[in-house]
């Protein structure tokens, strides 16, 4: 009897894996049989997580906005584990700022990481995946890539762009067996968001499931999209938000 | 390498409508393979063979999804056989294949009744049981025709768009009861329902979709199994296209004018 999504034999790169969702994804991937290259700018935390995962993991410092860094990451993955089957473009930065206060430099910084990072990543792994007969790329967008959210002029722009980039990549790379999908998390309790949420049932009444998301919730979905269980899924945008974008949320009953 | 594994559905009891063949049969098999119990329902008596082939964890019940009484019978049967209900896959459906201006009112009403009213009745029938269990998962099988306007799908497209919308209303209403409701949107899949349009399985045989091939029922079954499982515990109100990129946009070949 099967007990989980299987990633046996897969080689994956997860960016932004030192903490939060990326960390949860890397840990889950390894538990499901994959070998994982964790990348992040945060060296101490990234190395610690990879060390805890054990021989199935490597950590490498990585600025996703830098194409040369990407070449080094892919080279390391191939050298250590073999051809890359899965890329999770998870690394991202976020802040909230009214549009009239946002600066061109701020917009540029967010786009460099959140959008150019994913773009460089696709360019870095797709030729390998093509030569290898296929692969799966998961781009982490956001609810802010499905709707307008006040304060997210820069962040929202980057996440809408990732959603569009995903679809174009899916269309162009489909014939090589490379699947490309976007994941749109709602409010998830991670260090990126800060110390705003309390986990657990009933503590987040603004979504239908009445709780905030946890990194492991997102990890399970990403693992599914990384696995062969999703072999005919490409170009899809997958919302994972406890139901908040399904419509108007009913009030909490007395 | 280990056998391909799907999500864990240990001890979950799921009703799959239209389970005699095609997508429903594939979903039922994956549910049992993942440790669940399944009640396969269908108008077609061959569902009995489908269930028998799945072993002790599967049952068949003949079922017209447009009948409220039969829904009650199916749910009662499920509880009698397996003790509870944790999930429902509203898969039963009929297709169209006629141009808008030639479809009859009788056919339109028939398609809506099976594809939309049937889903509505199913949700109403299982919700009290899911609530009593502290939650559950409902997967409504819509279609790529519920994401875009697809030629020759007048009533079918209308029914599948409606299922997509109804899934979202149910998701927001039932979230507080921890009942998750999601829609799955298969593209062109090779099944008994679709084989008559002349599609062929295999790489390169369906060039107007980015992956260049039609889908297999098991590929939809895997998405359904994921949504039924606790691995999808924060996923509700989502619409999942499983279509090889069909609804993502026009193919490279199309854009290049070939």
Q: Give contacts of B2 with chain A, Cβ < 8 Å.
A: 6, 8, 33
Q: Hey, what domains does chain A have and what are their CATH numbers?
A: 11-240 (3.40.50.720)
Q: What is the CATH number of the domain that holds B237?
A: 3.40.50.720
Confidence band of A196 (pLDDT split at 50, 70, 90): confident
Query: Does residue B5 form part of some domain?
Result: no
Burial of B255: CB neighbours in 10 Å, binned 0-12, 13-18, 19+: exposed
Q: Which of B156, B190, B234, B254 is catalytic?
A: B156
Nearest to A210 among B3, B10, B175 (CB): B175
Query: Does residue B2 form part of some domain?
Result: no
Catalytic: A155? yes
Q: Which range marks the domain in which residue B108 is found?
A: 13-256
Taking residues B90-119, report their average pLDDT.
93
pTM: 0.90
Q: Looking at residue A194, what is its pLDDT?
A: 76
Q: Which of A119, A155, A160, A204 is catalytic?
A: A155
Least confident of A116-120, A224-228, B84-88, B149-153: B149-153
Q: What is the pLDDT of residues A169-183, one digit of tens each?
A: 999 999 999 999 999
Q: Looking at residue B4, what is its pLDDT?
A: 45
Q: What is the pLDDT of residues A216-244, one digit of tens each?
A: 999 999 999 999 999 999 999 999 999 99
State the ipTM, two decimals: 0.83
Residue numbers of B between 111 and 170 with CB closer than 8 Å to A: 168-169
Query: Does residue B122 form part of some domain?
Result: yes
Query: Does residue B124 form part of some domain?
Result: yes
> What's the total number of domains in chain B?
1
Q: Give contacts of A220 with chain B, Cβ < 8 Å.
A: 231-233
Query: Does residue B167 form part of some domain?
Result: yes
Query: Does residue B40 form part of some domain?
Result: yes
Query: Does residue B42 form part of some domain?
Result: yes
Helices B22-33, B217-228: crossing angle, 10 deg rounding: 50
Interface touch B242/A233, C-beta < 8 Å: yes
Q: What is the pLDDT of residues A5-50, one digit of tens each?
A: 899 999 999 999 999 999 999 999 999 999 999 999 999 999 999 9
Q: Looking at residue B3, what is its pLDDT?
A: 42
Interface touch B210/A235, C-beta < 8 Å: yes
Query: Does residue B8 form part of some domain?
Result: no
Q: What is the mean pLDDT of chain B?
A: 93
Residue B42 contacts A, CB cutoff 8 Å: no
Q: Looking at residue A52, what is its pLDDT?
A: 98
């Amino acid at each position: 009897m099967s007990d989980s999504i299987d990633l046996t034999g897969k080689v994956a790169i997860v960016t932004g894996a030192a903490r939060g969702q990326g960390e949860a994804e890397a840990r889950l991937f390894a538990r499901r049989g994959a070998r994982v290259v964790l990348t992040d700018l945060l060296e101490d935390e990234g190395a610690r997580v990879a060390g805890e995962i054990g021989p199935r993991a490597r950590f490498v410092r990585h600025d996703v906005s830098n194409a040369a860094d990407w070449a080094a990451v892919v080279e390391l993955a191939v050298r250590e584990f073999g051809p890359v089957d899965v890329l999770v473009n998870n690394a991202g930065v976020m802040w909230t700022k009214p549009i009239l206060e946002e600066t061109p430099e701020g917009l540029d910084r967010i786009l460099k990481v959140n959008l150019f990072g994913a773009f460089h990543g696709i360019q870095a792994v797709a030729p390998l995946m093509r030569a290898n007969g296929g692969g799966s790329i998961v781009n982490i967008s956001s609810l802010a890539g499905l709707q307008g959210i006040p304060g997210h002029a820069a962040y929202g722009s980057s996440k809408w762009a990732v959603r569009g980039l995903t679809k174009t990549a899916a269309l162009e790379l489909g014939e090589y067996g490379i699947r490309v999908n976007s994941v749109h998390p709602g409010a998830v309790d991670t260090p990126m968001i800060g110390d705003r949420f309390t986990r657990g049932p009933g503590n987040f009444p603004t979504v239908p499931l009445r709780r905030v998301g946890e990194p492991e919730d997102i990890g399970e979905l990403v693992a599914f999209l990384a696995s062969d269980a999703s072999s005919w899924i490409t170009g899809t945008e997958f919302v994972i938000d406890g139901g908040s974008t399904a419509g108007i949320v009913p009030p909490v009953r007395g | 390498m280990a056998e391909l594994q799907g999500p864990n559905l240990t001890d979950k009891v799921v009703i799959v409508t239209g389970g005699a063949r095609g997508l429903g049969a594939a979903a039922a098999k994956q549910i049992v393979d993942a440790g669940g119990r399944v009640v396969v329902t269908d108008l077609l008596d061959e569902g009995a063979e489908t269930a028998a082939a799945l072993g002790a964890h599967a049952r068949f019940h003949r079922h017209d999804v447009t009948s409220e009484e039969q829904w009650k019978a199916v749910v009662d049967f499920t509880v009698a056989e397996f003790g509870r209900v944790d999930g429902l896959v509203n898969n039963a459906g009929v297709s169209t294949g006629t141009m808008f201006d030639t479809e009859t009112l009788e056919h339109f009403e028939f398609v809506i009744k099976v594809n939309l009213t049937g889903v509505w009745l199913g949700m109403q029938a299982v919700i009290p049981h899911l609530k009593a269990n502290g939650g559950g998962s409902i997967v409504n099988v819509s279609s790529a025709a519920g994401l875009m306007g697809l030629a020759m799908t007048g009533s079918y497209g209308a029914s599948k768009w409606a299922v997509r919308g109804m899934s979202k209303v149910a998701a927001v209403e039932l979230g507080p009861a921890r009942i998750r409701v999601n829609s799955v949107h298969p593209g062109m899949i090779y099944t008994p329902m679709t084989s008559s349009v002349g599609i062929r399985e295999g790489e390169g045989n369906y060039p107007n979709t980015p992956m260049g091939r039609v889908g297999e029922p098991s590929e939809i079954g895997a998405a359904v199994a994921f949504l039924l499982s606790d691995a999808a515990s924060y996923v509700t109100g989502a619409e999942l296209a499983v279509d090889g990129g069909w609804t993502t946009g026009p193919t490279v070949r199309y854009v290049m004018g070939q």
